């Protein structure tokens, strides 16, 4: 009888303490906790940097399955106290499994400054893209830091097999027509760079032409290949900076001022 009682007790304990541990499927797309994060973070960011002519942001990327390193980078950037916001270049999940997104979200949420996250190719696997949209929002988005426009784009064309326009030129056209007058400079962020196998390379040059139509295109940022690189991809003077994956324990730090920009590779 005592064994019965013990088992019943254990059963009830597991039932009530472990509600998060009941999972229909690793790809069930059941999102607990905060959703629509990019929109909320952008509202905060734009408010804080409304009149800023100088600001500093960190660019991290490819944090998939490097949970310990992601925790470390959050602590490190918070401790600096000189970073205005953080941009994550995508691949927050490795397999597209739902819990990967929520684990990463809960780590990144410890940033004391605003942060936004792009969609990576790994984030598209299985039901991953649905989960990304639920937690972060639309994979194409933009925000303003003072007079600088940030365009964040889904460039993972291979994942869509031409079923959706990637990159989305209509999004860029709409953005261009609705551009506020005070925007003087533009920075473009993406996960996979042009000429990568994930990118729709048939439109790589068209893509670059569209980007150069935006006022004062400064440079482009990407992740994906897990290394630090600076390349003039189109031989036209527009640099593409790549930040390493978080597992390399380094990130890019950009300071934008009235004259232009400075950057450094920070190791942590």
Q: Burial level of 61, CB count in 10 A (0-12/13-18/19+)?
A: buried
Q: Single out the segment in contact with another protein by CB under 8 A; choices: 64-72, 109-117, 136-144, 183-191.
A: 64-72
CA distance 145 to 152: 13
Q: How far is the CB of 136 from another protein (least distance, A)?
A: 12
| Of 264, 211, 257, the residue nearest 238 (C-alpha) | 211
CA 210, CA 232: separation in Å to the nearest integer?
17
* Per-position b or e across 209-234, b if 16+ CB within 10 A of its CB: ebbeebeebbbbbbbbbeeeeebebb
Is the bond preceding residue 115 a cis peptide, omega within 30 degrees? no
Q: Which of 18, 51, 177, 182 binds another protein (CB under 8 A)?
A: 18
Q: CA 143, 145, 147, 151: dihedral to nearest 10 degrees? A: -30
Cα R_g (the chain), whole angstroms: 20
Rounded to a whole number of angstroms, the minimum distance from the CB of residue 126 to another protein is 4
Out of 5, 16, 20, 47, the residue judged to bind another protein by CB under 8 A: 20
Stretch near another protein under the rule CB under 8 A, chosen from 42-50, 61-69, 178-186, 237-245: 61-69
Would you count residue 37 as binding another protein (CB under 8 A)?
no
Candidate ranges 121-129, 178-186, 201-209, 219-227; the one touching another protein (CB under 8 A): 121-129
Q: Which is nearer to another protein, 84 or 94 (CB)?
A: 94
Looking only at residues 82 through 101 of this chain, which bind another protein when binding is defined by CB under 8 A? 94-97, 99-100
Among 5, 16, 47, 68, binds another protein (CB under 8 A): 68
Residue 67 beta carbon to another protein: minimum distance, rounded to whole angstroms: 4
Binding site for another protein (CB under 8 A): 1, 3-4, 7, 10-11, 14-15, 18, 20-31, 65-68, 94-97, 99-100, 103, 122, 125-127, 130-131, 133-134, 158, 161, 197
């Amino acid at each position: 009888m005592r064994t019965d009682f013990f088992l019943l007790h254990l059963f009830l304990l597991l039932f009530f303490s472990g509600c998060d541990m009941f999972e229909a499927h690793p790809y069930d797309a059941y999102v607990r906790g905060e959703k629509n994060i990019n929109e909320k973070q952008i509202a905060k960011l734009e408010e804080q940097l409304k009149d800023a002519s100088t600001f500093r942001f960190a660019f991290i990327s490819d944090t998939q399955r490097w949970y310990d390193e992601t925790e470390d980078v959050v602590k490190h950037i918070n401790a600096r106290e000189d970073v205005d916001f953080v941009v994550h270049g995508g691949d927050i999940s490795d397999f597209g499994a739902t819990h990967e997104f929520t684990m990463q979200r809960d780590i990144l949420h410890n940033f004391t400054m605003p942060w936004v996250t792009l969609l990576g190719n790994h984030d598209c696997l299985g039901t991953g893209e649905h989960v990304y949209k639920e937690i972060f929002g639309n994979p194409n988005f933009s925000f303003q830091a003072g007079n600088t426009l940030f365009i964040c784009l889904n460039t993972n064309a291979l994942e869509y097999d031409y079923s959706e326009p990637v990159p989305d030129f209509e999004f860029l056209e709409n953005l261009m027509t609705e551009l506020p007058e005070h925007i003087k400079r533009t920075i473009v962020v993406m996960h996979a760079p042009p000429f990568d196998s994930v990118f729709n390379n048939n439109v790589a040059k068209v893509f670059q032409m569209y980007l150069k139509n935006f006022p004062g295109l400064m440079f482009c940022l990407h992740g994906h290949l897990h290394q630090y690189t600076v390349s003039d991809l189109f031989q036209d003077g527009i640099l593409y900076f790549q930040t390493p994956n978080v597992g390399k324990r380094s990130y890019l730090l950009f300071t934008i001022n009235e004259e232009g920009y400075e950057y450094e590779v920070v190791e942590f």
